[in-house]
Amino acid sequence: MADAGAPAIPVPVLLVTGVLGAGKTTLINSLLNADHGLALAVVVNDFGAINIDEVILSGTGHPVFGLKNGCICCSLQGDLLRTLRAILSVRAAPDAIVIEASGVSDPRGILEALFDPVLREAVRLDAVVTVIDAEDHDPDDALWRTQVRAADFVVLAKGAAIDPSALAALRATLASMHKTLVFAADRDGGVPLDLLLAGGVRHGAEGGIDPSPRLRDDRFVRLEWSSPTPISLPRFQATIQHLAPHLARAKGILCVEGPPGRTYVFQLVGRRATLTPAALPAVGAQLVLIGRSGMFDARRAAATLETMMQR
């Protein structure tokens, strides 16, 4: 895939995982029908020859690709690779690709494939969302724990009818696994779908970030910050490390001090941050930071970033 037709910025991939029946297809359906203005492509995978999810999701108007060879983690070098090639071969690449993992699969196989040299110049892992059935789950199950450990975001499905103490116990279990970005699908405003899809970085006509979609969820605060000059990479890394505990998402395009043309795409989701070299005509830096209301002080964060530039 690393050819002249590859997109200038790798297309972000949202991986949705969770055990059988957890509610993955419902979440993906919500993503496809949400008012975000993004062009999404979806790769779905049932465990078996008949791909029911492909039929369910095909009515959304977004292109849906079904893998026919059973568990997705057994088809990585074949069916998945061919499917991603087909998605990226169209004239206008999608803004993001959503992959639904089989409910019986370990997501680590998919993650390893996405970091393969054949793929990583064309697609980029953006976030892993693990869906949990709040009514019916087994924290002692090895596969359940593996899927939760892989998560950047956790979505609790089917939790409206369960006892609040049981929901609190589940959240405590997730917190003990260092999972704090946890959203109940049918409580407290539901899942922030625009936050899940906030990881795309599109290069606008004037050389800057297109920050769409706009964040409309008042549970979160958004800061857009820019610098007209290149930044110090060590200072930037130290600053982000300081701000990260208060962030749910961050993205940006950075031109760093040093040899000309050293430009990077920066992404942060949960605890995971990446810097990817990019052949983009940036001269300074543009960042978008997103954090929870009451936890993320956008004004203070902007002042911290300005202080970074003055050192």
* pLDDT for 236: 93
Residue 204 has pLDDT above 80, yes or no: no
Report the C-alpha gap between 110 and 73 in whole angstroms.
6
Span 241-262, mean pLDDT? Answer: 86
Q: Please say if the pLDDT value at position 248 is more than 50.
A: yes
When the pLDDT of each residue in the chain is averaged and rounded to a whole number, the result is 80
Decide if pLDDT at 175 tops 90. yes
Q: Are 223 and 301 in contact (CB under 8 A)?
A: yes
Full DSSP string of 187-242: STT---HHHHTTT--EE-TTSSEE-PSPP--TTEEEEEEEESS-B-HHHHHHHHHH
Residue 264 has pLDDT above 60, yes or no: yes
Q: So what's the pLDDT on residue 52?
A: 40
Res 257 pLDDT > 80: yes
pLDDT tens digits along 8-35? 678 889 999 998 888 898 898 888 888 7
Q: 7 pLDDT exceeds 80?
A: no
Q: What is the pLDDT of residue 69?
A: 43
- For 125-165, what is each residue's pLDDT tens digit? 889 999 999 988 999 999 999 999 999 999 999 877 788 89
Closest C-alpha among 168, 177, 165 to residue 140: 177
| Residue 193 pLDDT > 90 | no
The pLDDT value recorded for residue 89 is 79
The pLDDT score that the predictor gives to residue 169 is 93
Contacts of 76 (CB under 8 A, 6+ apart): 109, 110, 112, 113
d(CA 228, CA 234): 18
pLDDT of res. 170? 93
- Nearby residues of 85 by Cβ (< 8 Å), 6 or more positions away: 1
pLDDT of residue 186 exceeding 50:
yes
pLDDT per residue as tens digits for the range 58-116: 444 555 665 544 444 444 446 677 778 888 877 777 888 999 888 888 888 888 878 77
Q: For the whole prediction, is pTM greater than 0.85? A: no
Q: How many helices (H) and strands (E) are present in the chain, helices listed first?
A: 10, 14
Residue 207, pLDDT > 70, answer no
Query: 167 phi and psi, to 5 degrees?
Result: -65, -40
User: What letter represents residue 36's amino acid?
Assistant: H
pLDDT, position 156: 93
Domains of the chain: 11-195 (3.40.50.300), 212-310 (3.30.1220.10)
Return the top range by mean pLDDT from 151-160, 201-210, 259-268.
151-160
pLDDT at 15: 93
Question: Is the predicted pLDDT of residue 205 greater than 70, yes or no?
Answer: no
**CB distance 97 to 14 below 8 Å:** yes
pLDDT above 90 covers what percent of the chain? 27
Predicted confidence at residue 123, as pLDDT, reads 86
Structure confidence at residue 174 (pLDDT) = 95
Per-position b or e across 269-291, b if 16+ CB within 10 A of its CB: bbeeeebeebebebebbbbbbbb
199-269-77-5 Cα dihedral, nearest 10 degrees: 30
The reply to whether omega before 213 is within 30° of 0 (cis) is: yes
Please say if the pLDDT value at position 304 is more than 70.
Answer: yes
CA 47 to chain centre: 24
What span, in angstroms and rounded, lies between the C-alpha atoms of 17 and 71? 12
Tokens of 164: 């609040």
- Could you give the angle at which helices 298-310 and 233-243 cross, rounded to 10 degrees? 160
Q: What is the pLDDT of residue 265?
A: 84
**Confidence check: pLDDT of 2 > 90:** no
- Measure the CA–CA gap between 224 and 244, rounded to whole angstroms: 15
